[in-house]
Amino acid sequence: MFSKKTITDVDVKGKRVLVRVDFNVPLKDGVVGDDTRIRGALPTIHYLLDHGAAVILCSHLGRPKGTADPKYSMKPVAEYLGSLMGQQVAFAADCVGPAAEEAAKALKPGDVLVLENTRYHNEEEANDPEFSRQLASLAELYVNDAFGSAHRAHASTEGVTKYLPGVSGFLMEKEIQYLGQAIDDPKRPFVAILGGAKISDKIGVIKNLLTKADNILIGGGMANTFFKAQGYPVADSLVEDEALETARELLAIGGTKLRLPVDVVIADKYEEGAAFRVMPMGPIPDGWRILDVGPETVESFGKVIASAGTVVWNGPMGVFEFPNFAKGTFGVAKAVAESKAVSVIGGGDSVSAIQKSGLTDKITHISTGGGASLEMLEGLVLPGVAALQDK
């Protein structure tokens, strides 16, 4: 159960509400690309407006590193939101100080204001108390709906709650409920699929999931370090030698729970047009590297996924950016979509594989937060959630 207060537990009428959203969306020449995160925040925004609040939205966008770099301005996002909502959305050229204060003061119930990028100030990531206080001073209530940033203790995700009562938005609540239930009260068998480049990023996740999941299917570059730990020569494959000892330990603890690819696609170069072939897992020939899982692996992982009660997936099975090495990732995406299991997908690459396959509506929950969902899978407490008021 979600133990934090949400916007339905507090009176918002007539209040100015500062909402931390995750509007860190792809922007190209001022045009918003994938708008999933913006749409994800709409239920919270509409609820607040419908219940008589004025809404002040703040977010980071990209990595402007403490400077007012126009490339990372929230202005196009504010305009996009206005067109999505069909209503006027005001914009303040700074998230604190006179510009923000005047714009906030002018708000009436039903109004929406978007503040400029919080990361134009280094104080945001430093979780600076004075900056947090200034942000908080714009409103009478704080709502965190930015699941994708909840694993960071920054001023707009954590510090601000020292100066304003903080509750959860609907998106945050939904994310925590789906992921929390998948991990702590899963319909069994509970199958986790992990991929991506590096094992070192996911050691904590594997350790935690070994105590919770019935099977962990490993693909992507991270499988290579396990292969090397098992004694296979992996030639030019991506390997993390410093993680070999840990990989051996995980294999020993994991036993048959931990499943590695049985066949792989190898390439003579790390390039889109590289020569490639499928081989059963074994010593990789000199000069070659593993860039994807093979068809037998897709089939055997697919069987495990088909009989699962719960599936959690994070990370691609191969270098899916190159079409010749994307079959493993798309094959797994299809298996997850076809499975009757409760399915939860996190991480930009796995989510984009599902979207590209047109299978989004077959998935129970697609998370808007890669890093945050990984930290939940690791069993960590998210500081942005911990800081909110308990029910």
Provide the binding-site residues for ligand AMP, judged by CB under 6 A: 196-198, 201, 220-221, 238, 290-291, 315-316, 318-319, 321, 347, 349
Strands (E), the chain: 16-20, 27-28, 31-32, 54-58, 90-92, 112-115, 141-144, 166-168, 190-194, 215-218, 258-259, 263-267, 276-280, 289-293, 310-314, 342-346, 365-366
Which contacts of 199-205 are long-range, i.e. CB under 8 A and separated by 24 or more positions?
Answer: 199/225, 199/226, 199/240, 199/243, 199/246, 199/247, 200/240, 200/242, 200/243, 201/374, 202/314, 202/315, 202/374, 203/243, 203/246, 203/250, 204/378, 204/379, 204/380, 205/314, 205/374, 205/377, 205/378
**For residue 229, what are the β-bridge partners?**
none
Q: Considering the candidates 198, 207, 212, 269, report the single residue annotated as catalytic.
A: 198
Q: Provide the minimum distance between the beta carbon of 103 and ligand AMP in the complex, in angstroms, as a whole number.
A: 37
Q: Identity (one letter) of the amino acid at 210?
A: L
**For residue 113, what are the β-bridge partners?**
56, 90
Is residue 30 annotated as a catalytic residue, yes or no? no
Is residue 348 annotated as a catalytic residue, yes or no? yes
Segments in 106-221 forming alpha helices (H): 122-125, 129-136, 170-184, 203-210
Question: Residue 242's closest CA among 228, 259, 252?
Answer: 228
Nearer to ligand AMP, 44 or 224 (CB): 224
Helix (H, G, I), strand (E, B) or coil at 2: coil
Is 366 within 8 Å of 360 (Cβ atoms)?
yes
Q: Provide the minimum distance between the beta carbon of 282 and ligand AMP in the complex, in angstroms, as a whole number.
A: 16
Helix (H, G, I), strand (E, B) or coil at 372: helix
Q: Which residue is nearest to ligand AMP (CB)?
A: 196
Nearer to ligand AMP, 17 or 319 (CB): 319
Q: Considering the candidates 348, 356, 362, 379, report the single residue annotated as catalytic.
A: 348
In terms of C-beta density within 10 A (0-12 exposed, 13-18 middle, 19 or more buried), how is residue 134 classed? buried
Nearer to ligand AMP, 45 or 265 (CB): 265
**For residue 289, what are the β-bridge partners?**
267
Nearer to ligand AMP, 12 or 250 (CB): 250
The span from the CA of 310 to the CA of 342, in Å, is: 5
Q: Identity (one letter) of the amino acid at 265?
A: V
Nearer to ligand AMP, 128 or 201 (CB): 201
For residue 219, the Cα-to-chain-centroid distance in whole angstroms is: 19
Q: Provide the minimum distance between the beta carbon of 67 and ligand AMP in the complex, in angstroms, as a whole number.
A: 26
Q: Considering the candidates 82, 302, 371, 379, report the single residue annotated as catalytic.
A: 371
Nearer to ligand AMP, 197 or 306 (CB): 197
Q: Identity (one letter) of the amino acid at 359?
A: L
Q: Which residue has the tokens 């995750």?
A: 22
Q: Considering the candidates 5, 37, 174, 228, report the single residue annotated as catalytic.
A: 37
Nearer to ligand AMP, 35 or 201 (CB): 201
Q: Provide the minimum distance between the beta carbon of 45 and ligand AMP in the complex, in angstroms, as a whole number.
A: 30
Would you please indicate which residues are annotated as catalytic (active-site) residues? 37, 198, 348, 371
